[in-house]
A = this chain, B = another copy of it.
Amino acid sequence: MFDHLLNPRSIAIIGASSDEKKIGNVVVKNLIYFNYSGRIYPVNPKSEKIYGLKTYPSIEDINDEIDLAIITLSAPLVPDAVEACVKKNVKYVIVIAGGFSETGEKGAELEREILQKINGTNTRIIGPNTVGIYVPRSNVSTALTLPERTALPGDGKIAFISQSGALGLLTMDTISEYGTGISAFINLGNRIDLSENELLKYFENDEKTGSIVLYIENFKDGREFYKVAKETILKKPIVVLKSGRTSEGAKAASLHTGALSSNDAITDGVLRQAGIIRAYSETELMDYGKVLAYQRPLFGDRIAIITTAGGLGVITADYLVSENNGVGMKLANLSEETKKKIKENIVPFGSAENPIDLTADGSTEQYSRVLEILNYDQNVDGIIVYALFQTAKVDETLIDVLEKYMKGKPMVVGILGSKIGKRMILEAERRGIPAFPSMERTVKAIKVLYMRGKYLKGRNKYGK
């Protein structure tokens, strides 16, 4: 149903402008910058051409079906513009301007007016007070970003729904560093019509989406969210960063988006019952979304660790098993046969005990053999591989080895370093291998696979 929003064949910009300081200018410019390939219709009674595009005095003058209209006018002008969109039978309308309910009663009245205009029609509203959407697959961005300052991610598997626009944009800018992509980004804004609940349902069936992540300050309808999420979760993993969890945060949230505070212990219980993974920072939100999109769930918590640097094995073993400053999982007890076989394949002073240490003499070939051996050991549920490309006997084909074992037991990869390490994380990303640039992030990622597995098992669902 949201195809016309995320993959619009035609976009009208109401309030398009040739004045570079106006929002209505930036929106048109960015559509062109991102190579949007559909039909663009600037609407402005005064201008003749904007960036070479013919403008229309009103949306009704456009002789085409309009999938998406972006209203760039200020708040008081929005209700009339929405009315015109309804007459034109526009499917989706993004209202960018602020100055609505977040600013007081007068703005709230404007929102009610808008809602009345669309009542009983086929027109749906995103926002107001939103940066809109960013969809790499269709090269649509309605956000007012300066491309020379902000990176936006490429096409990927994470659907990102955010109540806050800036938080969403900054987070996407940040994950671009390591090449993580998204299937779509939608900023809910004041959320007078379209909400997270309908989007969850949509992404549940969106083939491009492997996981759904949400930044939320309050739920539009908590009961409905629980009902929808509990179904969606059987097909797609969901991660939520719910802020306002402390009274200080809740107060800040009420000033930010007008979110009413809720009891966080209740929120926490509801999220857990629905099988939703909870994140506490933007890093966790996107890391968890990524690992869940790229890797199958883990149905047991016995983990094997492979490294060529002993220190990483020690620190990771601590972090894996510890309940404090750690994730409370188990270090797999390798079978005697496994240990014997590993011993035959690594250097004499390496360790065939878990964590398995190939030492600085470890080779790509040894990584491959040890992965093969571990995949046969029934005492091992999942694997953490530190793919360290800095030593002489490891080469870039280690990425091929990792790609091959993506078919094996659920595996998460840690890749350290800013030179070849950074380059290889980007390559892992291109191949859909979940790789992380620190030990803590790697271990937390495998924990999340286990949380999902445990939840699905509890509901007798073993598929993804």
A349 touches B312 (CB 8 A): no
The complex places the Cα of A174 from the Cα of B414 at a distance, in Å, of 12
Interface members, chain A 251-286 (any B CB < 8 Å): 251-253, 255-257, 280-284
Query: Which one of A175, A256, A360 has the highest number of Cβ atoms from chain B below 10 Å of its Cβ?
Result: A256
B349 touches A103 (CB 8 A): yes
Task: Give which listed residue, B171, B351, B360, contacts A256 with CB less than 8 A.
Answer: B351
Give chain A's interface residue range (CB within 8 Å of chain B).
Answer: 35 or more
A145 touches B438 (CB 8 A): no
B-binding segment of A44-52, A365-373, A387-395: A387-395
Contact of A331 with B248 at beta-carbon distance under 8 Å, contacts A149-B389, A255-B353, A315-B282 already known: yes
Query: Which residue of chain B has the shortest Cβ distance to A283 in the bound complex?
Result: B438
B-binding segment of A6-14, A35-43, A81-89, A416-424: A416-424
Specify which chain B residues have a CB less than 8 angstroms from the CB of A257 in the assembled complex.
310
Query: Which residue of chain B has the shortest Cβ distance to A245 in the bound complex?
Result: B318
Interface members, chain A 344-394 (any B CB < 8 Å): 349, 351, 353, 355, 357, 360, 388-392
Query: Which residue of chain B has the shortest Cβ distance to A388 in the bound complex?
Result: B170
Contact of A315 with B241 at beta-carbon distance under 8 Å, contacts A150-B419, A420-B150, A439-B281 already known: yes
The complex places the Cα of A355 from the Cα of B252 at a distance, in Å, of 7
A392 to chain B, nearest CB (A): 6
Is A53 positioned at the interface, with any CB of B under 8 Å from its CB? no
Is A300 positioned at the interface, with any CB of B under 8 Å from its CB? no
The complex places the Cα of A176 from the Cα of B321 at a distance, in Å, of 30
Interface members, chain A 403-434 (any B CB < 8 Å): 416-422
Specify which chain B residues have a CB less than 8 angstroms from the CB of A243 in the assembled complex.
311, 314-315, 318
Q: Copies per complex?
A: 2
The complex places the Cα of A162 from the Cα of B437 at a distance, in Å, of 20
Task: Give which listed residue, B173, B248, B353, B357, contacts A320 with CB less than 8 A.
Answer: B248
A214 to chain B, nearest CB (A): 12
Is A166 positioned at the interface, with any CB of B under 8 Å from its CB? yes
Contact of A173 with B417 at beta-carbon distance under 8 Å, contacts A244-B318, A315-B243, A321-B246 already known: yes
The complex places the Cα of A170 from the Cα of B252 at a distance, in Å, of 39
A167 to chain B, nearest CB (A): 3
The complex places the Cα of A256 from the Cα of B310 at a distance, in Å, of 6
Contact of A217 with B312 at beta-carbon distance under 8 Å, contacts A325-B280, A390-B146 already known: no
A390 touches B315 (CB 8 A): no
Query: Which residue of chain B has the shortest Cβ distance to A129 in the bound complex?
Result: B349
The complex places the Cα of A313 from the Cα of B163 at a distance, in Å, of 14
The complex places the Cα of A417 from the Cα of B98 at a distance, in Å, of 24
- The 5 A-B residue pairs with the shortest CB-CB distance, nearest first, are A167-B311, A164-B311, A166-B309, A249-B318, A256-B310
17 A/B residue pairs, CB under 8 Å, sorted by A: A149-B390, A150-B420, A166-B311, A170-B416, A173-B417, A174-B416, A174-B437, A246-B322, A248-B318, A249-B317, A251-B317, A251-B353, A252-B314, A252-B317, A281-B439, A282-B439, A283-B439
